[in-house]
Amino acid sequence: MSPAEHRTATHCPYCALQCAQWVGPSGEVDAREFPVNNGGMCQKGWTSSALLTHPHRLTNPLVRDSRDAGFAETGWDSALARVAGRLAALRAEHGPDSVAVFGAGGLTNEKAYLLGKFARVALGTSQIDYNGRFCMSSAAAAGNRAFGVDRGLPFPVTDLDDAELVVLAGANVAETMPPLMSHLQRARLVVVDPRRTPTAERALASGGLHLAPRPGTDLVLALGMLHAAVVDGHLDPSYVEMRTSGFDDVWRVAAQWWPERAERVCGVAASDMRTVARWLATTTRRYVLTARGAEQHAHGVDTVTAWINLSLALGLPGRPGSGFGTITGQGNGQGGREHGQKSDQLPGYRHIENPAAREHIASVWGVDPASLPGKGRSAVELLDSLGRPGGPRALLVFGSNVLVSAPDARAVAERLDALDLLVVADVLPGETASRADVLLPVAQWAEEEGTMTNLEGRVLRRRRALVPPPGVRTDLEVISGLAAALDAPGEFPADPMTVFDELRRASAGGIADYAGVSYARLDAGEALHWPCPGEHHPGTPRLFTDRFAHPDGRARMVPVDHVEPDENVDDGFPLRATTGRVLAHYQSGAQTRRVAELAAVTPEVFVEVHPDTAARHGLADGDLAEVTSRRGTTRATVRCVPTLRTDTLFLPFHFGGEGAANNVTNPALDPISRMPEFKVAAVRLTPVRAPATNPAPAVPAAART
């Protein structure tokens, strides 16, 4: 590694733990001591330097005249003029909502903020959303409903160091963010997951439990535990009376879910429900943490709410040494949803339909509040509307590979192909980029300045260690350039510090208040968690210590009941498929599938199947199988896993093409969060003989260097 004076302190480009890194002058990386990662990184962080000099890197704008034609290189002025001209023409003919924008939870706070401003001011469109809708939306909605605020962890990660008991509901952190496990070394773990994951193995080794519910029944499990807690005398009545409201309504539902009844539905032993309820009630330092397994359902908000209700009944949230939280997934999944790239939000976590919020933001932007559009479509609904009558005819994508990450991938491909214009700004050309009309090469994490907000609400500095390759611009420069080409009102600066200072003013007084956060304070090493409303405010590492964010200071306990998944098994589709991540890969795999060391660990898609289930379908370990739902088919190599439920299949979602797990997933949406049902799809399993290929995304010929 380079001498200290020649290296730059920044953070990993991957998950929301945001492990600290050193980046040297040649792009070499090393772990940096920091509270969230304790000086460690996972495989993805250690190999992240491979992305900086990857031969498939986009380094010039690429355009083509038709989807059947090849890409040709062009200059930036020409590319931006081409995009702006088409956008202006479509808006003039079909109105501002004929143009849509799709962002990402990996964008810096500055980029998320300016992208939202660009959509609403430069384009005048309401049609903007982002891939965080696939990740945290159900937990965010549940947190807002219960606590009055959404911050993934309302306490620092380091509070977990002394935990005696941690319940992980739908979280496989040993694979998705391994350095977090260093904070769980002392804890007995209870893992709720239909699979025996490495995290579940750690739970058993810690003297804890692995609870494997039938996919789609996590809510029943939480109700059974709440019933056991109350009947067995573990309710915290003074906490419930002083700090919550709504318990009686919640109990009327939970009273019907005695553990034996819950066991018949979810498949988890009633005795285990009682054990976990007793552990939670009798342990001093205890936490309940949810993640995607609890959230990615058509009723994910209610499922997370059920875990919140259990936590409140036992007096966890806001109590020193205890708490409830949600493990944010994407690198800036927290900040990405706070500053305006979500269809219903304005900066500072303000609701776009609130008149006072609109007036405040309009004053910062220098526009008439009436000129701001209203709430647009959520991510799945937006993608489904592309190219349809009354839907957007152009889409600008920043940092998201929707053709792999969105449910029902076949339908998404059809909608992308129906567009008049698809523009993708990215570092490497993924599956979505292969369908674009214009490809814009942008800088990546080690080549840009900005801020990220990690899973504990801590604002972090991303620092530029390297100069981007010639011909590459930052996302901020792209947005600024497009705004100028469109002759947009207001200011669209490309300098990240200038953008952040505007973001501070825009967020002031909002739920996610960054007014007191500055580059100077962050560079001086201050640990600033939002809300931080003033320059002398120390930030708020722990929420809820005295009151919750509702006007009366109480948390809301909301009654929720079990609803079956959107689709059930039948003779034609007798199995349930669920999806998730594996250690070597991240999200759509557009980055990690190109890193040789990671691709060698998991080179292709696989499907986990219980050996008995495989045998019943004429399959054995290593065979090629088709997993087919009512929407499409995925081809994958069989892995026989004796610990898996016999009624369940597992597919990692990092691969594209015929190996895309989202070929089979269900786009049914939660009525509140609009989260799609990634975790339950009715499928059938059949043998095939053709070879499976799951390559890295196709690279446009003009992009090869």
Mean pLDDT of 66-73: 92
Domain 575-687 belongs in CATH node 2.40.40.20: yes
Question: What per-residue confidence (pLDDT) applies to 67?
Answer: 87
Mean pLDDT of 195-221: 97
Cis peptide before 531 (omega within 30 of 0): yes
Q: Among 495-504, 619-628, 688-697, which stretch is predicted with the lowest mean pLDDT? A: 688-697
Per-domain boundaries in the chain: 74-134+332-456+466-519, 153-327, 575-687
Question: What per-residue confidence (pLDDT) applies to 6?
Answer: 86
Whole-number mean pLDDT of the chain?
95
Domain 74-134+332-456+466-519 belongs in CATH node 3.40.50.300: no
Question: What per-residue confidence (pLDDT) applies to 692?
Answer: 47
Specify the 3-state DSSP secondary structure of 427: coil
Q: Give me the percent of the chain exceeding a pLDDT of 70.
A: 97
What's the length of the chain? 705
Mean pLDDT of 273-300: 97
Dist CA 507 CA 512 (whole Å): 7
Q: What is the pLDDT of residues 229-284, one digit of tens each?
A: 999 999 999 999 999 999 999 999 999 999 999 999 999 999 999 999 999 999 99
pLDDT of 228 higher than 60: yes
Query: Which strand ranges, in their side-by-side order, compose the sheet holding 8-11?
Result: 8-11, 20-23, 29-31
Q: Give me the percent of the chain exceeding a pLDDT of 90.
A: 95
Question: What per-residue confidence (pLDDT) applies to 272?
Answer: 98
- When the candidates are 3.40.228.10, 3.40.109.10, 1.10.10.10, 3.60.150.10, the CATH number that belongs to 153-327 is 3.40.228.10
Cβ 286 vs Cβ 311: under 8 Å:
no
Mean pLDDT of 494-517: 98
Question: What per-residue confidence (pLDDT) applies to 690?
Answer: 54
Question: What per-residue confidence (pLDDT) applies to 4?
Answer: 61
φ, ψ (nearest 5 deg) of residue 543: -90, 160
Dist CA 584 CA 654 (whole Å): 10
- 3-state per-residue secondary structure call for 201-234: HHHHHCCCEEECCCCCCHHHHHHHHHHHHHHCCC
Question: What per-residue confidence (pLDDT) applies to 68?
Answer: 87
Q: What pTM value is reported for the model? A: 0.95
Q: What is the pLDDT of residues 549-594, one digit of tens each?
A: 999 999 999 999 999 999 999 999 999 999 999 999 999 999 999 9
pLDDT of 701 higher than 70: no
Dist CA 458 CA 18 (whole Å): 10
Dist CA 175 CA 472 (whole Å): 33
